Structure 1
Amino acid sequence: MTKDNSRLQITVAVSYSGKYDAVQACTSIAQKVKDDHIQLKDINDNLIEQELETNCTEFPYPDLLIRTSGELRVSNFLLWQLAYTELFFVQELWPDFGKAEFVEALTSFQQRQRRYGGRDS
């Protein structure tokens, strides 16, 4: 089904902080309220998302996060954006992560049921 697909987007964030991203979004929104550009009632998920640093990409919400190095945490990476992302943890370090590990991650991802916060019926 995907043999003719020609796009894959990989997001690499260097010197990025999810906490900082959230704080700068809140600061920006607070300034807009203070300057009467928006009202408190206007603050919602969409407005926050517009203020995040990932608002510059077509796909700000990863479907799959591959965490290398054996760590079982997201390490302050895309904290807002990972809400419904599937996580895959692997022991290999990033430089050693290769085709076999990538296929393993994709195979794992294919076996998951994406519910986006919902429940099975």
Structure 2
Amino acid sequence: MQTRPSYLAVDQLINEVEEVTKNNTRLQLIVAVGYSGKYDVLQACRGIAQRVKDGEIDVEEIDEILIEQELETNVTEFPYPDLLIRTSGELRVSNFLLWQLAYTELFFAQELWPDFGRNGFVEALLSFQQRQRRFSGRKS
């Protein structure tokens, strides 16, 4: 029996989800396959270091905005999630969006990803709604 490589299954699933949700406009789902937050930050630092070396920018010009422009996630309209739902009972972010999660609310669910459904999603949203968000000490 021959099995398909897992990336084909993920690719097919992504295509199906895109088709089903093509008219949705209010939520954005980020699924990272083979993504590393540490590597993302490392690549941004390397890119900035090369620009300094090439004389394109001065060290004093390095700030958060410049770093954010160099991150792989800079390609999305909403690079900073309001809510991270972590499935499988793990209580860690697992090297996911390390820079971008600075002010993200976290929700940890026991269900594994394939079993996480409507009820778990509603529970996560209700938990999120009850939180008092503070960005650098500000209430929102």
| Band the TM-score falls in, shorter-chain normalisation | over 0.9
Higher relative contact order (CA 8 A, sep 6+): 1
Distance 1:62 1:50 in 2: 16
Partner letter of residue 87 of structure 1? Answer: L
Q: Does 1:33 align with 2:45?
A: no
Give the structure-1-normalised TM-score: 0.93
Q: What's the secondary structure of 2:125's corresponding residue?
A: helix
Q: CA RMSD in A?
A: 1.2
Q: Does 1:56 align with 2:65?
A: no
Unaligned runs of 5+ in 2: 1-23
Give the structure-2-normalised TM-score: 0.80
User: Shift of residue 7 of structure 1?
Assistant: 2.1
User: Shift of residue 72 of structure 1?
Assistant: 0.2
Residue 12 of structure 2 corresponds to none
| Equivalent of 1:112 in 131, 135, 138 | 131
The alignment of Structure 1 onto Structure 2 pairs a total of residues equal to 116
Distance 1:76 1:6 in 2: 28
Distance 2:80 2:33 in 1: 17
Distance 2:33 2:72 in 1: 13
Residue 69 of structure 1 corresponds to 88
Deviations 1:4-46 (A, max 9, x none): x842111111100000000000000000000000000000000
Distance 1:37 1:57 in 2: 25
Unaligned runs of 5+ in 1: none
Structure number, greater radius of gyration: 2
- Give identity over the alignment, percent: 77
User: Shift of residue 119 of structure 1?
Assistant: 5.4
Partner letter of residue 115 of structure 2? Answer: D
